[in-house]
Chain A
Amino acid sequence: MQWFVILKKEILENWRNFKWVWVPIVFIIFAVMDPLTTYYLPKIMDAVGGVPEGSIIDIPMPGAVEAMMMSFGELSLLGVLITVVIAMGVISGEMKSGVYELIMSKPVKYSNYITAKFASVVLLILLSLILALITGWYYVLILFGDIAFTALLTSIAFYGCYFLLIIGIVLMVNTWVQSPGVVAFLSIIFIIALNALTSIYGHIFTWSPALLSDYIQVYLASGELVSEIWYSALVALLFTYLCLQFAILTLKNRAV
């Protein structure tokens, strides 16, 4: 099937340029960085010295949930950035180089093309996210305290929806301009706008996908899935779908 052919080619390409290796590693580093440094900071300061004699430094140890949220926090920032960088050229790069013309001279369906590209990025990013958060969770477990593994998996499932939306946005922007750099720039503007609007009008946009990590924190702390987390996830999925539809429409109406 054509869709699988494109997906397989994307997976192979990501393999040959080592994305399957470095993206998970980078994500794992992001996820463990904060919990580890927070835990070892007092010991590091002791070892390095330089603190005046007699001064008492009291750094409160965060709880398990707070430590886990540090992992999520880093990924929300740097993980999103890496995702944008990975996805910025998947279509615009092919248009810019001119391969797109050759590919589209074959009877390739635009919907297959877009959704297969989407799937390939989603596979890579979700796998990296899962590996990273499980590693982060492992360190939280041994350094800070207990979080149930099932709770972690539930959190990852909701958190993944946010990343689907990010990838959807970048793919949509991919069909507008032919320069990967401009795609990254416009996508980041979109994501910043989404987050800014959410933090200003958070009380109105309680269903905003940008609030997903806040709701995850509530869930990890209380064990309760508030109804807003469902709405946010649904809205994220809906917007992702709309982004993809819009991208397909743009490609269809665009002269190759």
Chain B
Amino acid sequence: MALLDANHLTKTYKNVNAIQDVSFSLEHGKCVALLGPNGSGKTTTLRMLAGFIKPTSGDIAFDQDSLTKDFRNFVGYLPQFPVFHNWMTGKEFLIYVGQLAKLSKDEAIKRADELLELVNLKEVRKLKISKYSGGMKQRLGIAQALIHAPKLIILDEPASALDPIGRREVLNLMRELKKDATILFSTHILNDAEEVSDEILLLNEGHIIEQGSMHELESVQNTVTLKLAFSEEPKFIEDRLKEIESVFKVNQIDKDYLLTVHDLQTARKQLLEVVYQENWQLTKFEVAKTSLEDLFMKAVKK
């Protein structure tokens, strides 16, 4: 059975639906990305699962008979902008929240040491949190979410606000965590989702518009974008490109031609043949990655 089933969750604020009829289930040991633009309801969904807000309708069921129990026992939560008691040291804070999560003092100390090691904060454990950098705080935030060995780890935009190095550290950490916990994290960066997640929930305006593995999502879209550029603009190029049967849309952005094609294999073959025959001065031939925007545009338009 799934670790968690969310059934028809809806949250209404003053007649505005923050999220509407959101249903999904999380399998044990999966890492799931909740993907969507700002304001699509990611944080609302996560806070609901963390037990902070009650759904207006719908319910959340853990595999334990836990409708009656406190969710917070099984869930570790990292808010989008974690704030700590800045007068404490990193280690003190971890021990404090560990004890709040019903660990004994000895257990909390032991667990804090392990986690400080894991998130690479061992050297600064005796430093006041007010002296920590943004990346350190984010890692401390992840450590505090893990302190009571939760079954489900919920991370709200864990890497979005970090510089490339901090982002890399957090993503590596998540890859590490994936081995023995279920992770649900939100992001608006497709690359992050692609890199660590097994599954993706695509959220827009409070609705889930797609869900499945990254691979499935891409194949559902069924089209690929190719980017072409030439050193000198050939004549009648647009008409000529449109004649190729596997190309079904041509756009021009600056000097790049964006071709939307159905089947990458045949399109590539046919295109290069035409380029060769016409002796066009090709300077760029790129299979563009499906960007979040493309994915959205396609999914929303459907």
Interface of A with B (CB < 8 Å)?
Answer: 2, 5-6, 9, 13, 16-17, 97-99, 101-108, 255-256
Contacts and interface: CB of A to CB of B under 8 A. Distances in A.
B144 interface: yes
Given A13-B87, A98-B79, A99-B85, A105 B50 contact: yes
A234 B87 CA distance: 38
Given A105-B50, A107-B72, A255-B53, A99 B100 contact: no
A256 B54 CA distance: 10
B285 interface: no
23 contacts: A2-B100, A2-B102, A5-B96, A5-B99, A9-B85, A13-B85, A101-B79, A102-B77, A102-B82, A102-B83, A102-B97, A102-B144, A103-B97, A104-B72, A105-B145, A106-B100, A106-B101, A107-B70, A107-B100, A107-B101, A108-B72, A255-B52, A256-B47
Given A98-B79, A255-B53, A256-B53, A108 B100 contact: yes
Interface in B109-123: none
* Range for the number of chain B residues in contact with chain A: 20 to 34
Interface of B: 47, 50-54, 70, 72-73, 75-77, 79, 81-85, 87, 96-97, 99-102, 141, 144-145, 148
Contacts of B87: 13, 16-17
Nearest to A17: B87
A102 B96 contact: no
B72 A105 contact: yes
A197 to B, nearest CB: 37
B148 A106 contact: yes
A202 B205 CA distance: 59
Interface of A (DSSP majority class): helix
Given A5-B96, A256-B52, A107 B73 contact: yes
Contacts of A255: 52-54
Contacts of A108: 72, 100
B19 to A, nearest CB: 14
B70 A105 contact: no
B185 to A, nearest CB: 15
Most buried by B among A9, A97, A105: A105
Q: What 10 A-B pairs have minimum CB-CB distances, sorted nearest first?
A: A98-B83, A105-B77, A256-B52, A107-B72, A5-B99, A106-B100, A106-B101, A255-B53, A107-B73, A107-B70
A107 B53 CA distance: 14
A6 B100 contact: yes
B50 A102 contact: no
A110 to B, nearest CB: 11
Most buried by B among A99, A106, A255: A106
Contacts of A97: 83
B96 A105 contact: no
Most buried by A among B72, B73, B85: B85
Nearest to B11: A255
